[in-house]
Chains A and B, each alone.
Chain A
Amino acid sequence: MLALDSVEAGYGQAKVLHGVSLTVEPGEIVVLLGANGAGKTTTLRVISGIIGARGGVTFEGRPLIGMAPNRIVELGLLQVPEGRQLFADMSVEDNLLMGSHSARAKPHRARALEQSYALFPVLKERRTQKAGTLSGGQQQMLAIGRALMAQPRLLLLDEPSLGLAPQLVTAVFEAIRRSNESGMAILLVEQNANQALRFAHRGYVLEGGRVVHRGSASELADDPAVQRAYLGLRAATA
């Protein structure tokens, strides 16, 4: 469904990705692990068309490099970005409606709005409130709800658990699992490797802009190198 082949990218002179290759198949949850600065967020930005890159990025056989971000969204490839990128001074409902901006999502807007509110009832209660006044967890729900409004076929999630209380993390992952069960493929960037590997099908580990490990979730969880570097690290800082 999504395939990256030897992708190189960076910001100005600073190169961040040095040949990243990975795939996401339909219906899969794939997790991208790695330390800060490994190139996880940059990889997602390349896929969404926010920054340019060299190499191959295809979505269902269509090359994405050079395509404008709004056209990529039209293909059904959505991102819940790091830092959520909400419209802080707009209402919760306006934020959700912006999610169904694309032409392929617009006809299903009313139903999608209902679904989002069903998934996150707290958003319905606060639908006239400004997004910037929500709590961190509610903002994360809104960011996911906004992305789901676009009827994505592949959802890119950048650190959805960052800064959330443990019970909220569980709720967010639950929402992601339910979306996946309805057929949506997911590429997840996460530092919380324990939780992510429990719930993903496959994973990749990035280090210095290169893929250093790959395998099924259970293989990675059992890999001593991954355990040392990420699961241990996580445990030590938790």
Chain B
Amino acid sequence: MLSFEVLGQTIVNGIAAASIYMMISLGLALVFGVMRVVNLAQGEFMMLAAFGSFWLFTLYGVDPYLSMVAMIPASLLLGYAVYRLIIRRLLGADDINQFLATFGLALMLQGIAQYLWSADLRRLPYVLPSLEVGDVTLAGVRVVNIGVCLAVLAFLAWFLGWTGIGRSVRATASNRMGAMLCGVDVRRVDATTFLLGTAISAVGGTMLALVYFVYPSVGAGLIFKGFAVVILGGMGSIAGVIVGSLVLGITEAMVNVYVSSQLSALVAFAVIFIVLVSRPQGLFGTAR
């Protein structure tokens, strides 16, 4: 059983899962990093984009990679409304109020989706040919998902590292008061960051629709993995999100194949527990 092809296949499966985890965790980490707000509704942005791509394909035959792009402006509209109505008011609020507000939003979006489209499990019936590399089979859509994920990461690296607004985002995340004193309009940075997170999660939603089920509470299941990732990587750290996603995705896949599929569902719990007990600032976080 411990053959090379099983190992290779398992790692590829893990990376494919990690690419989805990254999409939700990046949104969580960006928003938390800049605003110190934990957005429990991040997964619902993903769910709505997943449904968007699903229906565009099912009803009008729109290629999901096209609708992935179309979901970005749609998610920005929704994200801006949510930012104005809810998130903006949570800055500096108690943790419990933040949780209640964003959790309420999550439940509301799930409820709307369930009312409109029922709780049925659906799949976006779109396939690409698989690739064979040696004895490892690479599912087409998963390979493209990994590619999309790399593209998102490259965009994010460029945006944060090479643009003025990106530098302001990093500065605001690093020291909000310092950024204000440098003349940064931190509220604009907040909105930009929130919308960036929303757009990334929307792209992730289409990726999700291509490999998972689409159903109203799909985001709620994923947000938990997102938490495991950002806790593992250190709240608010982008590099931490990348490594955390890979560690979680590959560990889950390994446990699934070599230990037990029942235990693989517990990996995320175990990660959260171990990190919080042994290194609360995460792998990449610095103690604040």
Interface residues of A (CB under 8 A from B): 48, 50, 68-70, 72-74, 78-79, 81, 84-90, 94, 97-99, 101-102, 105, 146, 150
Contact = CB atoms under 8 A, between A and B. Distances in A.
Contacts of A90: 167, 170-171, 174
Instruction: Give 9 closest A-B pairs by Cβ, nearest first.
Output: A73-B183, A85-B178, A87-B174, A102-B183, A69-B180, A70-B185, A70-B183, A98-B182, A98-B171
B174 A89 contact: yes
B175 A101 contact: no
B185 A98 contact: no
A79 B167 contact: no
Contacts of A73: 181-183
Given A88-B174, A90-B174, A78 B167 contact: no
Contacts of B286: 89
A48 to B, nearest CB: 6
6 contacts: A87-B171, A88-B174, A98-B182, A98-B184, A101-B182, A102-B182
A68 B181 contact: no
B255 interface: no
Interface of B: 164, 167-168, 170-171, 174-175, 177-187, 286
B184 to A, nearest CB: 6
A73 B168 CA distance: 15
Nearest to A85: B178
Contacts of B178: 81, 84-87, 98
Contacts of A102: 182-183
Contacts of A97: 167
A235 B195 CA distance: 54
A101 B186 CA distance: 12
A86 B167 contact: no
Contacts of B182: 73, 98-99, 101-102, 146, 150
Which residue, of B175, B177, B181, has the highest number of chain A Cβ atoms within 10 A? B181
A94 B175 contact: no
